[in-house]
């Protein structure tokens, strides 16, 4: 007791409590609010370009209101602005919302709480991680306001397009800011990831063996390892690109004649950039997805009142997915001019990922089977996550097949595929996490009814937006096109595009329900009890009102795995991890 | 006015939701309702919605498949037919799994929604089941991998001996096609000699001389300007930029001087391009003949996408790429198949390349071999296009036939590579 006395008698200033906080719970909230803000921005950007795609060339006052006369003269979106919107939408969603937001929020909140630690291994690095994320967010947003426009080469920013300011307006100052923002973002992500790994390895409480960790923690751990191993490669790719832009080097450039001038630089290769980028880019997909899968494992088990099926197989599949994700990057490059033999190796490794993914999907379904399912909003989003994970994963089989990829590469088929897995699955994981752990974060409950409305509107509009894209893609409509009116064979795509845009607007407006619910509940929500979902994991043994060091008194001791729901040996349908085993009871 | 209205609507909307929430909050308080306790009615409602959503979703998917399932006319190429077959098999497997898994996923929550008197089945693991859903997907995937890779190796295999070659050249924002002409060899090309009249940078004595003259003129103009009094008024940075430009032009000129010629099967590479045929706006291919397309780009990455031929390959600056295709349906036949008299094949750009990316296209005409030959014969040679006369030389070259295309390409690449290296060494020296 005495050892922790400082924890709750310590008086903190406003700045050290709310701004430069080193407490993981506060940092987690900072990450969440920043990510939610970035998410709103990116969502609005997508509505803007969906207006253009749905109603080609028509005038919308709202575009002019938000983008001004330069980017939307007379309410019609400018072509360069369109590309900038697409690029920044993708960048923010992938990195700032789904990487920074998802890992930043939930790894920070849950790692110490679920493993029984007082805080992260290094509170200071954790704080630094958030503030780098914040600064990089500010730079990314500010790049939207510069005169030549934000980066517009697509979120993958392939050079030479991104390397040469002559190639497009967005490759000027906007691109430089994008690159600087990304370097800071990666630094933030690395600091965070190192911290998560060290904390999980070293700071588990007594009895918390690796095989008693909740699946959330396993997912966060593997995610952090992926980040540490792959993000540095993106840093080098980005720094080399900065040098090509500013210092006359030629890592990615060769034989270029542009703007009426033959460039001096020769000897580089744009394909090198693609390799470096996708060496991060593919693990990145799982950096985004694994935390969401971890969250849904926890939520589905708790609300089915049933242990997660195949706990060890789930860990195994997380590890397998994590490992395989490093040797599949080439499937983004089948038609880049890469050796066809190398292509076939990547086909093989990529399709292997389907096996652990299938195991996960079927394990979720078996967990639901004969459960006693309670429909909290978090549970709805988790079920939605499994559905989208399966639907989006299946189309991946086509994209992984190099022979088929020739036809659908860079078409809307790809857009549909990765939005269903990242834009829906991973985002659903984030929503599930927020609904489920909101009581832990803010000590209040979110409104359930609004949560229901939010979920049903979101899944309907989400599928309404992304499912038809497979069909427009199979018909050969390329992504990142400002307009589809230049090709007669794509005429029928136009009507489908209008439908997609209508769903996109409904989906975007539906998010207002969530925002309102969240901000309202932070201040006015019903006060939360200590363990609202009758859950087994350690975070629900901490007091509702946050204290420094998480537990008043000694750290809890763990005696069993986290999924003892509806154990026939007990009367209650849940047995927290802190309950000792009965004499003769075998743990799992 | 409109803006004001929008703002008003948003504000009113927020107030309305806030009021609703307040009412809800009060009534919840009166009924003593806790947010974390999900009522039986709510559980049942969501359980039913699961099924309702599933059925609506399936209806939507089936509607899309019926209405938009025939997304493209039949493949107009040999490999495209094989690819479509592979696609169909993949799609059916995927669609079957999609329906099975989603049905289970939405049905279980409907069936097993929360009831107070029940307890969930304690079923933590079962190795036999795990084995089932590891092994079955593995078998299906093994089949898909083997089938897919076989198709892939057929598509990417070596082009045959009597293939027709055509170069597709990309730049922001159009495509140019080049045929090797009667001598069967593409003339050497280098980005350093690109000019308005020579957009592909073909090397001939004439284009080199013209390029050098053009550069010299630019250098001279710049030098004059740099010595003029105007410079006194300009800020230093701008003067420096102009000087930089001057040295860049000097280095460029040096690189042009450094270009060296070589022989392609007895033809001088600088002569070989004289009979090359360059077309813009449209290009033609014969039906039933294998065609090897070679892609080059001068500025950024583009991607040549031929959706009706199921063909696509990136055009990468500095890295020539290839794709072989055998067209099987002529434009005329396809017009009948699609019942669309205006139908045309098209090659479009499918890699973001700048502001007019969405309209970077070239029409493709597939026709019988005779029609193709006739069209090709009508096209102007490069020699005629740049106005370099002398008819006699041309007839001499006509005898040279069927050169090994592979050798050509390689020699071409090596040559450009070497000359550039020489050029950059030279520039490094001159800078010192």
- Which residue in B120, B299, B312 is closest to A406 by CB distance? B312
Is residue B420 scored above 60 in pLDDT?
Answer: no
Interface of A with B in 114-153 (CB under 8 A): 153
Contacts of A425 in chain B (CB under 8 A): none
Its pTM stands at 0.91
pLDDT of residue B389: 57
A319 touches chain B (CB under 8 A): no
Chain B nearest-CA distance from A287, in A, is 23
* Phi/psi at A113 (5° precision): -70, -40
User: What pLDDT sits at residue B393?
Assistant: 43
If you measure CA to CA, which chain A residue comes closest to B308?
Answer: A476
Contacting B residues, span 322-351, partner chain A, CB-CB under 8 Å: 342-344, 346, 348-351
pLDDT of residue B90: 96
Spell out which residues of chain B touch residue A83, defining contact as CB-CB under 8 Å: 352, 355, 357
Tell me how far apart the alpha carbons of residues A47 and A69 are, in angstroms, rounded to a whole number: 18
Residue B309: pLDDT over 60: yes
Per-residue pLDDT of B402-414, as tens digits, reads: 334 344 433 343 3
pLDDT at site B1: 59
Are B252 and A351 inside 8 Å of each other by CB?
no
Per the CB < 8 A criterion, the answer to whether A227 and A279 are in contact is no
List per-block mean pLDDT (blocks of 10 residues) for chain A, which spans 588 residues.
46 80 94 96 96 93 90 93 96 96 95 96 95 97 92 94 93 94 96 96 95 96 96 95 92 92 90 95 94 97 96 96 95 93 95 95 96 96 97 96 95 96 96 97 94 96 96 94 93 91 95 94 92 95 92 94 93 93 84
Among candidates B61, B349, B420 on the partner chain, residue whose Cβ is nearest the Cβ of A266: B420
More confident residue, B266 or A461: A461
Using pLDDT thresholds of 50, 70 and 90, give the confidence band for residue B399.
very low
- Cβ-defined contact of B61 to A439 (cutoff 8 Å): no
If one compares B28 and A297, the residue with the highest pLDDT of the two is: A297
Cβ contacts of B357 on chain A, cutoff 8 Å: 83, 480-482
User: Quick one: pLDDT at residue A211?
Assistant: 94
What domains sit in chain B, N to C, each tagged with a CATH number?
164-431 (2.60.40.420)
Chain B residues inside the 8 Å CB shell of A442: none
Interface test with B, best of A157, A438, A476, A509 (most B CBs within 10 A): A476
**CB contact (8 A) between residue A471 and residue B349:** no
Residue in chain A closest to B200 (alpha carbons) equals A257
Residues 150-209 of B with CB under 8 A from A: 151-153, 155-156, 171-172, 190-192, 194, 201
Confidence at residue B387, expressed as pLDDT on a 0 to 100 scale: 80
Interface contact flag, B152 A402, Cβ < 8 Å: yes
Q: Are A316 and A222 in contact (CB under 8 A)?
A: no
Tell me if A99 sits within 8 A of B41, measured CB to CB.
Answer: no
On whether any CB of chain B is under 8 Å from the CB of A475, the answer is: yes
Q: Cβ separation of B36 and A459 shorter than 8 Å?
A: no
The verdict on A439 touching B (C-beta cutoff 8 Å) is yes
CA distance A23 to A126: 8
Our CA-based measurement puts residue B192 at a distance from the nearest CA of chain A, in whole angstroms, of 6
pLDDT of residue B400: 40
- Window 241-270 of A: residues touching B by CB (8 A cutoff) are 253-258, 261-262, 264, 266-270
Q: Sort B125 into a burial class: Cβ within 10 Å, 0-12 / 13-18 / 19+.
A: middle
Any A CB within 8 A of B31 CB: no
Tell which residue, B312, B313, B311, B309, has the closest CA to residue B327: B309
Report the residue from A255, A480, A532 with minimal CB separation from B357.
A480
Q: Give the ipTM of the model, two decimals please.
A: 0.93
Q: What pLDDT is attached to residue B13? A: 78
Q: What is the pLDDT of residue B161?
A: 87
Q: Work out the average pLDDT over B164-174.
A: 95
Mean pLDDT (chain B, rounded): 86
For chain A, the residue count is 588
Domains of chain A: 27-253+262-533 (1.20.210.10)
Of residues A154, A358, A563, nearest to B352 (C-beta): A154
Q: How many Å lie between the alpha carbon of B382 and the closest alpha carbon of chain A?
A: 20
Question: Is the predicted pLDDT of residue B430 greater than 70, yes or no?
Answer: no
For the cut 50, the answer to whether the pLDDT of residue B3 exceeds it is: yes
Nearest chain B Cα distance for residue A305, angstroms: 6
Partner-chain contact B144 A448, CB within 8 Å: no
Q: How confident is the model at residue B2 (pLDDT cuts 50, 70, 90)?
A: low
Size of interface A-B (CB pairs under 8 A): 397
Which candidate from B106, B319, B350 shows the least CB-CB separation from A271? Answer: B319
**Chain B window 77-96: which residues touch A at a Cβ cutoff of 8 Å?**
83, 86-87, 90-91, 93-94
A428–chain B nearest CA distance, Å = 16
> What stretch of H or E contains A528?
none
Strands B164-171 and B291-297, by their bridges, are parallel
């Amino acid at each position: 007791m005495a050892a922790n006395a400082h924890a709750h008698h310590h008086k903190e200033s406003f700045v050290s409590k709310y701004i430069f906080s080193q407490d993981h719970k506060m940092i987690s909230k900072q990450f969440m609010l920043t990510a939610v803000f970035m998410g709103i921005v990116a969502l609005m950007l997508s509505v803007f370009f969906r207006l253009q795609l749905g109603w080609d060339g028509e005038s919308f006052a709202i575009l002019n209101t938000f983008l001004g006369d330069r980017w939307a003269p007379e309410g019609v979106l400018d072509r360069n602005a369109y590309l900038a919107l697409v690029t920044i939408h993708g960048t923010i969603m992938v990195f700032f919302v789904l990487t920074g937001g998802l890992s930043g929020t939930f790894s920070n909140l849950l790692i110490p709480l679920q493993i029984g630690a007082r805080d992260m291994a290094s509170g200071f690095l954790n704080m630094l991680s958030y503030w780098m994320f914040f600064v990089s967010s500010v730079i990314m947003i500010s790049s939207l306001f510069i005169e030549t426009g934000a980066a517009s080469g697509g979120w993958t920013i392939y050079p030479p397009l991104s390397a040469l300011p002559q190639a497009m307006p967005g490759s000027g100052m906007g691109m430089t800011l994008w690159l600087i923002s990304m370097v800071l973002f990666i630094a933030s992500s690395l600091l965070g990831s190192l911290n998560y790994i060290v904390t999980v390895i070293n700071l588990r409480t007594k009895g918390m063996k690796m095989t008693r960790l909740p699946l959330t923690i396993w997912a966060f751990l593997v995610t952090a390892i992926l980040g540490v191993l792959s993000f540095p490669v993106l840093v080098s790719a980005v720094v080399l690109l900065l040098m090509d832009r500013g210092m006359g080097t030629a890592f990615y450039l060769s034989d270029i004649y542009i703007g009426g001038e033959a460039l001096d630089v020769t000897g580089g290769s744009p394909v090198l950039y693609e390799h470096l980028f996708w060496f991060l880019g593919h693990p990145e997909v799982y950096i985004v997805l694994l935390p969401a899968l971890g969250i849904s494992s926890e939520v589905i088990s708790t609300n089915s009142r049933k242990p997660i099926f195949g706990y060890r197989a789930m860990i195994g599949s997380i590890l397998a997915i994590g490992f395989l994700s490093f040797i599949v990057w080439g499937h983004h490059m089948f038609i880049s001019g890469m050796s066809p033999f190398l292509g076939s190796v990547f086909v093989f490794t990529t399709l292997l990922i389907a096996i652990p993914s299938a195991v996960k999907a079927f394990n979720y379904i078996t967990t639901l089977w004969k459960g006693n399912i309670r429909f909290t909003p978090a549970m709805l989003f988790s079920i939605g996550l499994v559905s989208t994970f399966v639907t989006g994963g299946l189309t991946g089989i086509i994209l992984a097949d190099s022979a088929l990829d020739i036809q659908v590469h860079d078409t809307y088929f790809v857009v549909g595929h990765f939005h269903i897995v990242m834009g829906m699955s991973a985002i659903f994981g984030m929503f599930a996490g927020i609904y489920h752990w909101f009581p832990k974060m803010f000590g209040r409950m979110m409104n359930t009814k609004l949560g229901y409305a939010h979920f049903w509107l979101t899944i309907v509009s989400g599928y309404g937006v992304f499912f038809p894209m497979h069909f427009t893609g199979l018909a050969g409509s390329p992504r990142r096109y400002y307009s589809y009116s230049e090709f007669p064979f794509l005429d029928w795509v136009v009507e489908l595009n209008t439908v997609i845009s209508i769903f996109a607007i409904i989906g975007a407006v539906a998010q207002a329900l969530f925002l309102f619910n969240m901000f309202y509940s932070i201040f006015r929500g019903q006060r939360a009890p200590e363990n609202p979902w009758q859950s087994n994991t350690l975070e629900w043994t901490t007091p509702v009102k946050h204290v420094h060091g998480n537990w008043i008194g000694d750290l809890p001791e763990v005696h069993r795995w986290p999924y003892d729901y509806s154990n026939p040996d007990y009367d209650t349908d849940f047995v927290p991890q802190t309950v000792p085993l009965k004499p003769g009871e075998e743990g799992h | 006015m409109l803006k004001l209205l929008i703002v008003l609507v948003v504000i009113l909307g927020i107030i309305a939701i806030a009021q609703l929430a307040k009412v809800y909050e009060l009534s919840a308080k009166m009924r003593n309702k806790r947010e974390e306790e999900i009522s039986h009615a709510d559980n049942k409602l969501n359980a039913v919605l699961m099924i309702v959503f599933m059925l609506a979703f399936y209806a939507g998917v089936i509607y899309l498949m019926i209405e938009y399932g025939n997304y493209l006319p039949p493949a107009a190429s040999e490999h495209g037919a094989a690819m479509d077959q592979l696609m169909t098999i993949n799609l059916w497997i995927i669609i079957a799994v999609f329906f099975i898994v989603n049905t289970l996923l939405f049905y279980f929550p409907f069936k097993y929604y929360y009831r107070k008197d029940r307890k969930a089945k304690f079923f933590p693991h079962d190795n036999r089941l795990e084995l089932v859903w590891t092994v079955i997907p593995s078998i299906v995937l093994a089949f898909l991998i083997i089938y897919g890779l076989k198709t892939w190796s057929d598509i990417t295999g070596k082009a045959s001996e009597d293939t027709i070659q055509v170069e597709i050249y990309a730049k922001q924002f159009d495509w140019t096609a080049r045929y090797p002409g009667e001598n069967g060899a593409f003339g050497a090309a280098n980005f350093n000699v690109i000019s308005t009249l020579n957009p592909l940078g073909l090397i001939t004595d004439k284009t080199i001389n013209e390029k050098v003259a053009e550069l010299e003129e630019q250098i001279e103009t710049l030098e004059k300007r740099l010595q003029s009094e105007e410079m006194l008024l300009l800020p230093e940075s701008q003067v420096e930029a102009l000087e930089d430009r001057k040295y860049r032009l000097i280095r460029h000129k040096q690189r042009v001087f450094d270009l060296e010629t070589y022989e392609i099967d007895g033809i001088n590479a600088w002569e070989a391009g004289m009979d090359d045929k360059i077309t813009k706006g449209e290009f033609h291919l014969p039906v039933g003949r294998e065609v090897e397309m070679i892609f080059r780009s001068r500025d950024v990455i583009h991607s040549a996408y031929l959706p009706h031929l199921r063909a696509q390959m990136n055009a990468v600056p500095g890295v020539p790429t290839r794709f072989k295709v055998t067209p099987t349906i002529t434009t005329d036949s396809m017009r009948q198949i699609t019942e669309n008299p205006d139908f045309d094949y098209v090659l479009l750009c499918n890699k973001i390349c700048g502001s007019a990316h969405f309209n970077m296209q070239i029409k493709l005409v597939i026709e019988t071999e005779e029609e193709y030959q006739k069209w090709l014969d009508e096209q102007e040679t490069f020699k005629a296009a740049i106005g370099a006369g002398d008819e006699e030389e041309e007839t001499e070259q006509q005898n040279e036939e069927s050169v090994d295309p592979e050798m050509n390409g390689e020699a071409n690449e090596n040559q450009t590579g070497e000359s550039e290296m020489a050029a950059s060494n030279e520039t490094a020296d001159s800078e010192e």
